[in-house]
Chains A and B, each alone.
Chain A
Amino acid sequence: MARDMDHQHIRENNVISLYLMGKLPEEGRAQFEEHFVDCQQCLDEMELTNDLRAGLKQVTKEDGLSKENNWVSQRGRAAWLKAPTLWQPRLLAYAGLLFAVSLTAVFFAGARYHRSELAETKRLLDDSQRRYAEERQTSENLEKQLQASADKAGDQKAGDQQPQSLLASLQPAPLFFLSATRGADDSKSTPANHIEVSTTSPWIVLSLEFERDPEFQSYRARLINTEGNVLWSAEKIMPPPSDAIAISLPSGLLSKGDYALVLDGLTSAGRYVPAAHFSFRAIVQK
């Protein structure tokens, strides 16, 4: 089996489409054939891609388009291809003129923008420092109150256990960074991500690193075990400003084993489509 042909490489380099179009070089073709000959996932994908391509060819045939002619000259003949394009010379000329005029304005606006952005960052920093100090103070007060309650109770056994469990819930949740494994053949490989769940922390936070798609309105996250059961899910997760989403999970959901956290993006058409996939192995520490 061609080990260097993994699914990520195949997806990122459009290997299936290029193979079907006969555009893979000889070496790549031999490697890919050796991979897909017994890979049901790739075979399904190939059938689907081939079908889509055949359907597209049929539509272009029905619309009187062809592969041989320059596609730009054909746009007028099919409604689905009509669109002004950036490389049209006239449009490019207008774009150039607009760019030149805009450049001066952008230069002055830029300096002003950076000043206001700096002020905004400083304000956010001050704000977060203030909130941190407040939260720390609240936490200290709670700890004092709990300790006082325990002292009052007099029962040494109960006094030892109850404040400890309550204090544990005040501890910060452990944070784990997960890298996307979308498209990898997870059923066969060991998950790239490992997390250690402690029974003393009721929550864990997973930071999911992925390339954000600006077209998604929101995200849905699902935690799935190896049997395919959805253990937890959350919808309407708003797109983050950066390429990472933080998800909090009750750590009791996880026992020793492999899991997948699947992130789906909500399109403007109101449908969820796969956005990223994170497989990980959980190890429980007592």
Chain B
Amino acid sequence: MEATQAGQLVARILAGEKSAEEELVQQYSRGVSIILNRSTGDRSISEDLSQETFQIALEKIRQGEIREPDRLSGFIVSLARNLASDHFRRSRRLEGFADPDEAELIPESSPSQLDRLLMKEKSKMVRKLLDEMSERDRQILYRFYIAEDDKDRICADLQLSSLHFNRVLHRARERYRDLYENQKL
């Protein structure tokens, strides 16, 4: 969303337009969920915090407390991160919990039956993708995404340019997208 659009959205909410509030939630909910999921590592906690984020954001906008309406995105991100930090501060006091950044390492709760089924499908698609790739490209994917080697090191080992490396990742993602979309049909 452009800064001017964000400013207009804030103005519409201030004017009491209900559809503008829905628009804000729709526009930002996906992004806020990702940020909170990464901060908390727990889907149910992040859902609660997401609701709280939008509740506070809308209250502040309605009361005209947004100083820079054009920087609405920055405001919402800060709010979500602060709520995640507060949550962990409270939890730490109660349970001796970790820092929110460390919390990213906390594993998710055990997967449901549906999660397992979806994961099986993903694995099937990835195997198909790997079958179509050259050995070198498979090594790039493994070393970057699983072994988490640095890009520079992988490029040096495999004598690749940065551009070529990016192309391999880009093609892998595009092919995966194709497989995913074909599966949905």
Name A residues whose Cβ lies closer than 8 Å to a Cβ of B.
1-2, 11-12, 14, 17, 21-23, 30, 33-40, 43, 45-46, 48-49, 51-60, 62, 65, 67, 71, 80-83, 85-87, 188, 211, 213, 267, 269, 273-274
Task: Report the interface size for chain B: residues with CB under 8 A from the other chain.
Answer: 60
> A52, B176: Cβ atoms under 8 Å?
yes
B167: Cβ under 8 A from any A Cβ: yes
The residue in B3, B130, B163 that gathers the most chain A C-beta atoms within 10 A of its C-beta is: B130
> A83, B142: Cβ atoms under 8 Å?
no
> B73, A34: Cβ atoms under 8 Å?
yes
In the bound complex, residues from chain B placing their C-beta under 8 Å from that of A81 are 135, 138-139, 142
A267 to B38 Cα, complex, angstroms: 36
In the bound complex, residues from chain A placing their C-beta under 8 Å from that of B146 are 56-57, 60, 65, 67, 71
> A188, B34: Cβ atoms under 8 Å?
no
B35: Cβ under 8 A from any A Cβ: yes
In the bound complex, residues from chain A placing their C-beta under 8 Å from that of B119 are 54-55, 58
Residue in B closest to A42 when the chains form the complex, CB atoms: B31
A2 to B75 Cα, complex, angstroms: 12
A48 to B122 Cα, complex, angstroms: 11
> A56, B142: Cβ atoms under 8 Å?
yes
> A53, B139: Cβ atoms under 8 Å?
no
Known: A52-B176, A67-B148. A37 touches B6 (CB 8 A): no
In the bound complex, residues from chain B placing their C-beta under 8 Å from that of A274 are 170, 174
Give the residues from 142 to 162 in chain B that come closer than 8 angstroms, CB to CB, to chain A: 142-149, 151, 157-159, 162
In the bound complex, residues from chain B placing their C-beta under 8 Å from that of A62 are 123
B77, B120, B180: the one within 8 Å of A33 (CB): B77
A203 to B15 Cα, complex, angstroms: 53
B28, B130, B143, B148: the one within 8 Å of A21 (CB): B148
Known: A1-B6, A17-B144, A67-B147. A51 touches B28 (CB 8 A): no
Residue in B closest to A12 when the chains form the complex, CB atoms: B166
In the bound complex, residues from chain A placing their C-beta under 8 Å from that of B163 are 211
Could you list some 9 contacts between A and B, CB below 8 A?
A2-B74, A54-B122, A55-B123, A65-B146, A71-B147, A71-B149, A80-B138, A83-B138, A83-B139
In the bound complex, residues from chain B placing their C-beta under 8 Å from that of A14 are 151, 166, 169
Residue in A closest to B163 when the chains form the complex, CB atoms: A211
In the bound complex, residues from chain A placing their C-beta under 8 Å from that of B67 are none
In the bound complex, residues from chain A placing their C-beta under 8 Å from that of B55 are none
> A51, B157: Cβ atoms under 8 Å?
no
B95: Cβ under 8 A from any A Cβ: no
A33 to B176 Cα, complex, angstroms: 24
> B74, A51: Cβ atoms under 8 Å?
no
In the bound complex, residues from chain A placing their C-beta under 8 Å from that of B2 are 1, 188
> B31, A38: Cβ atoms under 8 Å?
yes
B82: Cβ under 8 A from any A Cβ: no
> B32, A37: Cβ atoms under 8 Å?
yes
In the bound complex, residues from chain B placing their C-beta under 8 Å from that of A71 are 142-143, 146-147, 149
> B132, A43: Cβ atoms under 8 Å?
no
B91: Cβ under 8 A from any A Cβ: no
Given pairs A33-B31, A33-B35, A37-B31, 20 additional interface contacts (CB within 8 A): A14-B169, A17-B144, A17-B145, A34-B77, A35-B73, A37-B77, A38-B31, A40-B30, A43-B30, A45-B173, A51-B176, A56-B142, A58-B123, A59-B123, A71-B143, A80-B131, A80-B135, A81-B139, A81-B142, A267-B171
The residue in A12, A38, A46, A82 that gathers the most chain B C-beta atoms within 10 A of its C-beta is: A38
A55, A60, A83: the one within 8 Å of B125 (CB): A55
Q: Which 8 A-B pairs have the closest CB atoms?
A: A37-B31, A55-B126, A55-B122, A83-B135, A58-B123, A71-B147, A38-B1, A52-B176
B71: Cβ under 8 A from any A Cβ: yes
A49 to B35 Cα, complex, angstroms: 15
B157, B173, B180: the one within 8 Å of A86 (CB): B157
> B31, A17: Cβ atoms under 8 Å?
no
In the bound complex, residues from chain B placing their C-beta under 8 Å from that of A49 are 173
Give the residues from 28 to 66 in chain B that come closer than 8 angstroms, CB to CB, to chain A: 28, 30-32, 34-35, 38
Residue in B closest to A53 when the chains form the complex, CB atoms: B145
- Chain A nearest CB from B20 CB (Å) reads 14
A62 to B126 Cα, complex, angstroms: 12
In the bound complex, residues from chain A placing their C-beta under 8 Å from that of B127 are 59
